[in-house]
Structure 1
Amino acid sequence: MTMKGFFKMIEISDSIDGGAVIVHPKGKIDTLTAKTFEAHLKKHIDEGIGPLLVDLAEVDYVSSFGLRSMLVVAKLLAPSGRKYVLFGLSPQVHEVLRVSGFLRIIPVVASRAEALALAEAAAGSS
């Protein structure tokens, strides 16, 4: 019996918009993929370029390991004052963040336009 295709890995791509780095994960952020997701975001933190926005539109599941990765990134970005915004969450992922209290820790908005506006407002106030 082959396990090929049983474990779906996460796919991550990036784009730049208005000086903000937008990360586009696709798949699940769970026990098997959270470290990859976290390492990818840490790479952008180390580069120190603009706000970090994460488009979760194609993420259908976030486990406690995924939440931990998101929190680690928030804590690493906090001292620099760089904006970190999540957007495009499915109802299921939004509910996980709400129940876990993450909506009070990390800014979450519905759309890319709102995320960019929030990042721009933060840049303008600093």
Structure 2
Amino acid sequence: MTAEVAEITINHVTEGGLAIVRPSGKLDTLSAKTFETYLKELVDQKAGTLLVDMAEVDYVTSFGLRSLLIIAKQLAPSGDKLILFQVNPSVVDVLKISGFLKILTVVDTLDAAKQLAGPAG
């Protein structure tokens, strides 16, 4: 699904049993709910640990942070994780200022994310 109003495009692939999600655009008031719903559907499908490629996300507001936190909390009881990788420097600044770098797992590369995710299945 692509929604122009939401200013975000999201797709994912499954690679080695891991869901790799690739959002593109802004994670703001208009798009955060779309993003959250997309990730919740993956959680409901028991996709396991979610690796989110943030390279194409250039803007995150508190609504976007809230969506990330909700998904991370939803995954925690099953032992699965939300791992962000290739995070845009301006988004890293937002995560740092908001204290979310202490809450969320953020790594530089897909390989690092896969290592943290551990064996799929």
**TM-score normalized with structure 2 length:** 0.91
Partners of 2:60 and 2:47 lie apart in 1 by: 26
Could you tell me whether the CA contact under 8 Å between 1:22 and 1:55 is conserved in 2? yes
- 2:89 aligns with 91
- What is the number of residues matched between the two proteins? 117
Q: Which has the larger radius of gyration?
A: 1
- 1:28-73 CA distance string (max 9 Å, x none): 0000000000000000000112311100000000000000000000
List alignment gaps of at least 5 residues for structure 1: none
Q: CA deviation at 1:8?
A: 5.9
Of residues 108, 111, 116 in structure 2, which corresponds to 1:110? 108
Shift of 1:23: 0.5
Cα distance between partner residues in 1 of 2:67 and 2:28 = 10
Q: CA deviation at 1:18?
A: 1.5
Quick one: distance in 1 between partners of 2:25 and 2:57? 5
Equivalent of 1:68 in 63, 66, 69: 66
> Percent of pairs identical after alignment?
53
Residue type matched to 2:76 in 1? A
State the partner residue of 1:101: 99
Q: Match for 2:30: what amino acid?
A: L
Query: Which one has the bigger strand percentage?
Result: 2
Pairing partner for 1:38 from 27, 36, 41: 36
Residues 45, 77 of structure 1: 8 Å contact kept: yes
* C-alpha contact 2:6 2:34 (8 A) present in aligned 1: no
Equivalent residues of 1:19, 1:51 under 8 A apart: no
User: Alpha carbon RMSD of aligned pairs, Å?
Assistant: 1.5
Q: Which amino acid aligns with 1:112?
A: L
Check conservation: 2:23, 2:53, Cα contact below 8 A.
Answer: yes
With structure 1 as the length reference, what TM-score do the two structures score?
A: 0.88
Unaligned runs of 5+ in 2: none
